[in-house]
Structure 1
Amino acid sequence: MSAPRESTAGQSTAGQSTARSSVPPPSATRRQVLAAGGATAAGITFTGALTELFAGTAAARGHTGYGPLVPDPDKLLDLPKGFRYRVLSREGDRLRSGEGRVPSNHDGMAAFAGRRGRVHLVRNHENRYDGRIPVPTVRGLTYDPEGKGGCTAIELDARGRVVGERVAVAGTAVNCAGGRTPWGTWLTCEETEDRAGTHGYTKDHGFVFEVHPGDPLRTGAVPLTAMGRFQHEAVAVDPRSGVVYETEDAFDRPFGLFYRFLPNRPLGGTGSLRAGGRLEAMRVPGVPDLSAVRETGAVFDRIEWIEVPDPLARDTPVRFQDFGSGGITHAQKLEGCYWGDRSVYFVSSYARAREGSAADHFGQVWRYEPDRRRLTLVIVFGPDTDVRLPGESPDNICLAPGGGLMVCEDGSGAQHVFGVTRRGEVYAMARGAHNIGTPEDPEWGEFAGVTFSPDGDTMYVNCYTPGTTFAVTGPFA
């Protein structure tokens, strides 16, 4: 593995700054407008009740972002003045463990506290059967030797230096997002329904796997089959009850479902999810498609949970199964999922009527309150052609330590990590500066896996292509 690289915003070398047009073309998306204008983002707001997301995080009150982004002379990551980044890992480097090369397609990620101030990062690799650099197969950590996806784990010392990097699970497929558990493990999710015999796979795929961040051999490569076999995206665990909520990012109609898994051994610690449980899907009476709901603040008080007939989808994908006379509720692009304020929040990145949704939108955030069985639409993202609204296609999302959100957008044009304050103001936190296209037709890899160190002082984030893991430090509010 090559040595970590470090850069500070605002210290560019003459002649090396990234060239950018000062006037966007008439057809520019909002992301391109922000990129051209420096992305100060004052006055840009969500439609919705942002205060619901940030209860208990008053430290962010009055925070309005960190100023315009400064072009990076190394053309990797643009940040506000006063912030700096270190490159912790890049695809193709050698793993410190000697197990092979760092795999490609960096995606979902989480940070965990280790001993003596150390931090463990667990990082997904969304490799399909044709992944550029597969996750190396390792004895005791490999599910299907023909699977190219999985997770790697990075260990950082108290000063943030990489002291270890190894395979955490291998032989899985399309590891997109996931979620952390209250007992300190990572749940990595396969976003596929491919069966054994497809693309050379020797086992069925579409499962969740548990990964111990510091000792992966403790969890191995065991599919949590009771949690369902479908196109998983992300999960969030209720720390009070142990109920696991799951999103499904299905690519065709009928679109994905929102699930809850009721474990037989709730909050039982590492390995307890292997004891099984009951998988249920959410039904919103009278609402077969969440995209049809347009007004923020819309509330549904009679949420029902219907048991999934066949969680393993032996003959029929779960979303096609018979849920009775009331049907079931679908939504396009169900992605991010996280727990906060006694609620689970989940993201629909977009909906497009031309692809089969009931209506169009550019992103929704929903809140489900288990105690009240109540579902509320709290945010609607604005159209990407309107620079007064916050863009399109929210994907990975996390709560920032000082209050507010960090959002990785997954759309076209320049790629950003956006922050959102408690007051709903949107600001650019980072912008990809590595052009993977051509000067005439530039392209940037999307961001994914945004997460914070346990002490809140460092933001970690991945660039999907080329796979790169960054550590960002600076005057976070």
Structure 2
Amino acid sequence: MSVSRRGVMKGSAAGALSIALAGSLDTIFQTSAEAKVGGAAGYGPLVPDPRGVLDLPEGFSYKTLSAQGDTITDGVLVPGAHDGMATFKGSRKDTVRLVRNHEQTASGVKPVAPSSLVYDPAAFGGTTTLEVDSDGNLVNQRISLAGTSTNCAGGRTPWGTWLTCEETEGFSGQTKSHGWVFEVDPTGKRTEPVPITGMGRFAHEAVAIDPHTLEAYLTEDASGPFGLFYRFRPRAHRGQYHAYLEGGRLEVMVCRDLPDLSLAQEPGEEFRVKWKAIPDRAATTTSIRKQFEDEQVTRSQKLEGAWWGHGKAYFVASYSKKEEGAAADHAGQVWTYNPKTDRIRLELIFKPGGRFDGPDNITVSPYGGGVILAEDGDGEQHLVGTDRKGRAFAFARNAFNDSEFTGATFSPDGRTLFANRQSPGVTFAITGPWHRIRH
């Protein structure tokens, strides 16, 4: 994904979340020298890591929990391409579980698991479940799903499971169809390698779930034509494991005033949307996004992360380029969909030319009312934070290579931030004086 995406974020703060909303450009991604080193806000300048792995502010430290190629047990190796993650209750009061995606397709370190956890033996994707103690030490890890493909992002369910998404519609040599969502039980007791067909077959990226209605909102990262934003309305409303396997209605978003999300360029713009039924959600012969003419739906280049919060579904478009077929240029957007009003709202936008770019994964910080964004852009890669005033700062820098950050997520108690470097895959546990954030 190495294209020009250096951007500037516009906005201010949105309630307690303080995700950048309509407002001042300068207060979000400042261009002063002080802001560039993280000194204007946040936790202060980044301190070079003598090991050349992860630069963090003074007082913060990291532990490497699980790296690609590590031995799990009996010769089983940790797969690579670490991606989306979420945290869950551990087996003890002092532990937390992480379920982590591996965005491998048909090559890499193949996950080795019991046949009961393998969907397609030809596929190299899947998930790993880690258990970590309160000091950030790895207690154990295991392969929790195997035989899936290109597991990029996903979403945490209100009933405490992980939905892992396949960002593909298939590959050469597959023995089963791909492009599905699978459910993973962090405890390891109930996971079955069964696709949730009701959520459609397409190049899934992420899922955000309304905890009240259990409706799910899904992003699609695809081109030729660009992807769509989906809503899944489940038939079952029990809010428990495998509820989605009972099926439901899958729809695509339509905004008559906005055929391409890139046309919105000012934070605060709102648009009313409708939802359209899908002729063939299994994409038996034709990809879902190709079952509609451009004027029938609303498309976007590079739809990425999705997250539910404050009664809304947040979803991200990482970038848009006219030279690649988009209607307008930008280096990243964050949108919200409000189910009570049936409106989408442009919350922030990156304009080309700034220090940070390529928004992808996002997680809410328990400290200071801000967020942590995983950068997937050009040049240096950062975990980018915002404070409650909407000011951005570099919280971490990949000092090892130019690989993106992925899977940023806080432990339930807020003491530890977990994040991945995708390649070579490694998971970090980051701790420090979180309450020291500058405002």
Task: Please say if residues 331 and 348 of structure 1, whose CA atoms lie closer than 8 Å, have aligned partners that are also in contact.
Answer: yes
Amino acid at match of 1:152: T
User: Which structure 1 segments of 5+ residues have no match?
Assistant: 1-27, 32-44, 57-62, 436-443
Amino acid at match of 1:180: R
Please tell me whether residue 77 in structure 1 is matched to residue 77 in structure 2.
Answer: no
Give the match's secondary structure for 2:88.
Answer: strand
Please tell me whether residue 303 in structure 1 is matched to residue 266 in structure 2.
Answer: no
Give the superposition deviation at 1:99.
6.2
Amino acid at match of 2:284: R
Greater relative contact order (Cα 8 A, min sep 6): structure 1 or 2? 2
2:194 corresponds to which residue? 222
Task: Please say if residues 348 and 363 of structure 1, whose CA atoms lie closer than 8 Å, have aligned partners that are also in contact.
Answer: yes
Give the superposition deviation at 1:48.
2.3
2:93 corresponds to which residue? 116
CA distance in 2: counterparts of 1:342 and 1:287, whole angstroms: 23
C-alpha deviations, 1:80-99, integer Å up to 9, x for none? Answer: 0000000001111101x436
The TM-score, its normalising length taken from structure 1, stands at 0.83
Amino acid at match of 1:332: Q
Q: Identity percentage over the alignment? A: 50
Task: Please say if residues 124 and 188 of structure 1, whose CA atoms lie closer than 8 Å, have aligned partners that are also in contact.
Answer: yes
- Output the aligned Cα RMSD: 1.9
2:313 corresponds to which residue? 344
User: Which structure has greater strand proportion?
Assistant: 2
1:272 corresponds to which residue? 243
C-alpha deviations, 1:215-241, integer Å up to 9, x for none? Answer: 1x4022111011000000000100111
CA distance in 1: counterparts of 2:75 and 2:278, whole angstroms: 40
1:94 corresponds to which residue? 71
Of 364, 372, 395, which aligns to 2:341? 372
CA distance in 1: counterparts of 2:316 and 2:225, whole angstroms: 17
Give the superposition deviation at 1:326.
5.7
Task: Please say if residues 205 and 219 of structure 2, whose CA atoms lie closer than 8 Å, have aligned partners that are also in contact.
Answer: yes
Of 17, 24, 29, which aligns to 1:54? 17
Task: Please say if residues 219 and 271 of structure 1, whose CA atoms lie closer than 8 Å, have aligned partners that are also in contact.
Answer: no
C-alpha deviations, 1:274-309, integer Å up to 9, x for none? Answer: 111110010011321111111111111x31011111
The TM-score, its normalising length taken from structure 2, stands at 0.90
CA distance in 1: counterparts of 2:176 and 2:287, whole angstroms: 16
2:145 corresponds to which residue? 169
Task: Please say if residues 462 and 469 of structure 1, whose CA atoms lie closer than 8 Å, have aligned partners that are also in contact.
Answer: yes
1:15 corresponds to which residue? none
Task: Please say if residues 158 and 239 of structure 2, whose CA atoms lie closer than 8 Å, have aligned partners that are also in contact.
Answer: no
Decide whether aligned partners of structure 1 residues 133 and 399 sit closer, same or farther in structure 2, where only a CA change above 3 A counts: same
2:26 corresponds to which residue? none
1:386 corresponds to which residue? 354
Of 277, 285, 291, which aligns to 2:262? 291
CA distance in 2: counterparts of 1:136 and 1:265, whole angstroms: 33
Higher-Rg structure is 1
Give the superposition deviation at 1:55.
6.5
1:17 corresponds to which residue? none
Give the superposition deviation at 1:422.
2.4
Give the match's secondary structure for 1:226.
Answer: helix
Paired residues, what number? 410
Task: Please say if residues 108 and 124 of structure 1, whose CA atoms lie closer than 8 Å, have aligned partners that are also in contact.
Answer: yes
CA distance in 1: counterparts of 2:16 and 2:285, whole angstroms: 39
1:262 corresponds to which residue? 233
C-alpha deviations, 1:180-213, integer Å up to 9, x for none? Answer: 000000000000001xxx4211000000000011
Give the match's secondary structure for 1:450.
Answer: strand
1:8 corresponds to which residue? none
Task: Please say if residues 69 and 78 of structure 2, whose CA atoms lie closer than 8 Å, have aligned partners that are also in contact.
Answer: yes
Decide whether aligned partners of structure 1 residues 427 and 253 sit closer, same or farther in structure 2, where only a CA change above 3 A counts: same
Of 407, 414, 425, which aligns to 2:391? 425
1:3-18 alignment runs, 5 A limit: none
Task: Please say if residues 5 and 319 of structure 2, whose CA atoms lie closer than 8 Å, have aligned partners that are also in contact.
Answer: no
